[in-house]
Structure formats: C-alpha cells, structure tokens
Amino acid sequence: MSLMRTSSPHLSAANPVQHVMQQVLLALIPGLIALIHFFGPGVIFNLLAACGFAVLCEALVLRLRGYDLRFFLSDYSALVTGALLAVSIPPYSPWWLIFIGAFFSIVVAKHLFGGLGQNPFNPAMVGYVVLLISFPVYMTHWTAPSDLANTPGLLQSFASLWSNEYYDGTTMATPLDLMKQNEGQMLTFLYANNPQFGSYAGLGWEWVNLGFLAGGLWMLHKKLFTWHGPVGMLAALGILSALFYDDGSSASGGSPLFHWLSGATMLGAFFIITDPASGATSNLGRLLFGAMVGVLVYCIRVWGNYPDAVAFAVLLLNFCAPFIDYYTIPKPYGTEDSQS
C-alpha cells in the first residue's frame, strides 16, 4: 500500500479567500442601498462599470503574468477593489473616468507591486487619488441628494456613463465643503441655512455612513478584521473634533458626529484601512495606524485643501505601515508583558 504523505496540520477551517472577499462585498450592501436611495441609479452604473473594468484589468494582467486565470480570478479580490472604487467616486461619472480609476487601482497599485497581498498602497484609494488629482472638476461634483433635487432616471443615468460631459444635473456643495468654507456662521445657522445638512451631518450622507457602519460591524462580528483599526480611527477623529468643536461657534470644525457621519468616514474605517495588505500587521500597529488616519483626516478636512481626506490620509499611512510594523512586533508567549 503506497501511502499519501501530507504535512500537518491535516485539517483546515474552510473560510477560503473567496469567502472572505464575498463577505466584504455583502457588507457593502447597506451602504450601497443608502447611496442608491439618496443619489440615484448612477451609483449602480458606477458599480457595474468599476467592477467590470477591475475584473477586466485583473484578467489582462494575470494573463500577461502567465497566471492561471481561473484560479486567481476566483478570489474575488478585483471585485472588491472595483466596488470600493465605485462607491468612492461621484455617481454619473463617465466610463473612461471609471476605467482610468480601475486601471490605476488594479494594474498599477496592485499588480505592479506584486499582486494580491503585496500592495503597499490601498488599490482603490490609489485609483481615487489619481482621478482626484487629474480630474478635479469631475471628482468634486456630487449630485445633490434625492430629497433636494430629482435624481436622474435609469436611462439618463446610463446615458451619462457614455457622455463625455460630466453630469451637470443638480450638483451641490457637499456638507464637508460647506463646513470648510463656513465663514462667520454659528453651526446652528449653518445647518439651518443650508438644506444639504440633515440632523447631524449631510442629508443622505448620514445614512450612507450608517449603512457602511452596519456592514462594518457585521464584518467585525464575522471576525474579518479586529476592532483596532476602526476604533483607532474613529476615536482619534472623535477626540479631535470634540477638542476643536468650540461649542459650535463659527470657528468650529464640526462636531464628532458630523465627522463620523460625513464623507467617507465609515467606508474608510471599516473597508479601507482594514485592507490588511497595505495596513499595519499587529493589533497595536493597527490601532496606531487607525489613530493616525483619524488625525490626518481631521487635519486635512478642517485645515487642508481637499474636501474629503480619507484617501490621502490612508495613502500617507500606507507609506508608514512598514515602520509601524517594525516597532510593534507583539511580544511572544513567555515574555513578561505578554501575560493576559
């Protein structure tokens, strides 16, 4: 009898990469629903186009690198990147904008650095930042939420995908812009004078962030990542905004709730900084990583030049992750301070 020789362990828990990625995609659903509800069907076309282009780019590169397409495409990682890019860019973007974003995400940020798991920078954020810098006009025009203006219908949305012009329906300054440009108004007046504000933050945006928060908590429950990154980021952001809240005066940077529920905060906290490849490795490292992202997000939002800051903050910290790792190797069993 010739016996098969395998190396221990001979058991394995089946939560393969594809399941992990599928769970991330599922977790995006509540946030997506909110986005679609408030910003219309353009979000769907964004999503379809970005995912399609991402998978296309992934397939091309895999083919060029001589990898087994079926094996490597089945890990769903390109879909996740595509989806994250899609929810970051304004709805009703033209196809080529989305394509460029997907190209930079997948080809440059992911594969030029070695592929899955080896990307030092978050692929979706690289794509987003390239677009933001190259096409600021397109990238800073967010449609007004559906409560304030009519969102385009399906056909119109589809058409905008193919038009060369950026969608020029009703776009409005986002709450983050308003907060930054606020000169001399108490926050209560700022909220009252601008219909873009809801109860705590931007109309619609509150719900979008709550949606991503819900998905994020579900992933936390599923143990897809540890609490350290998100808690670090949200805590730092909360503390800073509380410090500089200034009782809602005209010099205020906005309340903690405003910052938590604005822009890409929750998306960043649960879907972006939790990307393990470009983040820090140990729990302490992730806590630091998250906290520093939180600090940077606040600084850029309040004193910087860009409306939202998550992408820049994340990319900067991606750069620091190896250093964080270097100084935060956990103490192994048997070292005094590793005792529980």
Partner 1 sequence: MNTAKHTFHGGIRPLEHKEDSNTTPIEIAPIPPMLVLPLQQHSGPTAKPCVTEGEYVYKGQMIANAADASGASIHASSSGYVVAIEARLVAHPSGMADTCIVIETDGLDAAIETSGHPNWRNLNRVELLDILHRSGIVGLGGAGFPTARKLNTDSIDTLIINGTECEPYITADDLCMRERAADIIRGCEILKYIVGANSVIVGIEDNKPEAIESMGKAMPSSPDWKLVTFPTKYPSGGEKQLIEILTGRQVPRGGLPANIGIVCQNVGTAFAVKEALEDGKPLISRITTFTGQALSRRGNLEVRLGTPVSYLLDYMGYTEQKVPRLIMGGPMMGFALPDATVPIVKTTNCILAPDTNELPLPKPAQPCIRCGFCAEACPASLLPQQLFWHSKSSNFDQLDKHALDDCIECGVCSYVCPSSIPLVQYFRASKHEMRMRRNEQQQADKARERFEARQQRLEREALEREATRAARKAAAKAKAAESSRFADEADPVQAAIERAKAKKARLMQQSQQGAQMNAESALDSLKTKLAAQQSTLQQAEADEKSEKITTALQASIRRLEQQIAESETKPPSKDVEE
User: What residues make contact with partner 1 under the rule CB under 8 A?
Assistant: 1-13, 15-17, 19-20, 71-72, 75, 77, 115-118, 223-226, 276-277, 281-282, 325, 329-335, 338-340
Say how far residue 261 (Cα) sits from the centre of its chain: 13
Closest distance to partner 1 from the beta carbon of 321 (Å): 10
Q: How far apart are CA 211 and CA 266, in angstroms?
A: 8
Can the peptide bond before residue 230 be classed as cis, meaning omega within 30 degrees of 0?
no
Q: How far is the CB of 54 from partner 1 (least distance, A)?
A: 16
DSSP string over 170-185: SB---HHHHHHH--S-
Residue 81 Cβ, how far from partner 1 at the closest point, in Å?
12
The answer to whether the beta carbons of residues 42 and 143 sit under 8 Å apart is: yes
Least distance to partner 1, CB of residue 129, Å: 22
What span, in angstroms and rounded, lies between the C-alpha atoms of 320 and 324?
6
Smallest gap from residue 331 Cβ to partner 1 (A) = 7
Nearer to partner 1, 141 or 228 (CB): 228
Q: Given the complex with partner 1, which of 40 and 216 has the nearer CB atom?
A: 216
Q: Which is nearer to partner 1, 17 or 154 (CB)?
A: 17
Please report how close the Cβ of residue 337 comes to partner 1 at its closest, in angstroms: 10
Tokens 């995908």 belong to 161
Q: Are 93 and 166 in contact (CB under 8 A)?
A: yes
Instruction: Indicate the residue among 5 and 221 with the shorter CB distance to partner 1.
Output: 5
Give CA–CA dist 301/259, Å, rounded. 9
Q: Would you mind telling me the total number of residues written for the chain in this entry?
A: 340
CA distance 193 to 46: 31
Q: Nearer Cβ to partner 1, position 106 or 172?
A: 106
Q: Which residues pair with 276 in a beta bridge?
A: none
Q: Shortest gap between Cβ of 323 and partner 1 (angstroms)?
A: 14
Which of 18, 249 has the CB closer to partner 1?
18
Cβ atoms of 171 and 188 within 8 Å: the answer is no
Q: φ and ψ at 22, to 5 degrees?
A: -60, -40
184 or 334: CB nearest partner 1: 334
The CB-of-6 to partner 1 minimum distance in angstroms stands at 5
Give the nearest distance from C-beta 219 to partner 1 in angstroms: 11
CB-based burial of residue 31 (10 Å sphere; 0-12 exposed, 13-18 middle, 19+ buried)? buried
116/299 with CB nearer partner 1: 116
- C-alpha 200/C-alpha 49 separation (Å) is 32
8 A C-beta contact, residue 83 and residue 51 = yes
- What are the percentages of helix, strand and coil residues in the chain, rounded to 5? 60, 0, 35
Nearer to partner 1, 62 or 310 (CB): 62
Query: 226 phi and psi, to 5 degrees?
Result: -95, 170
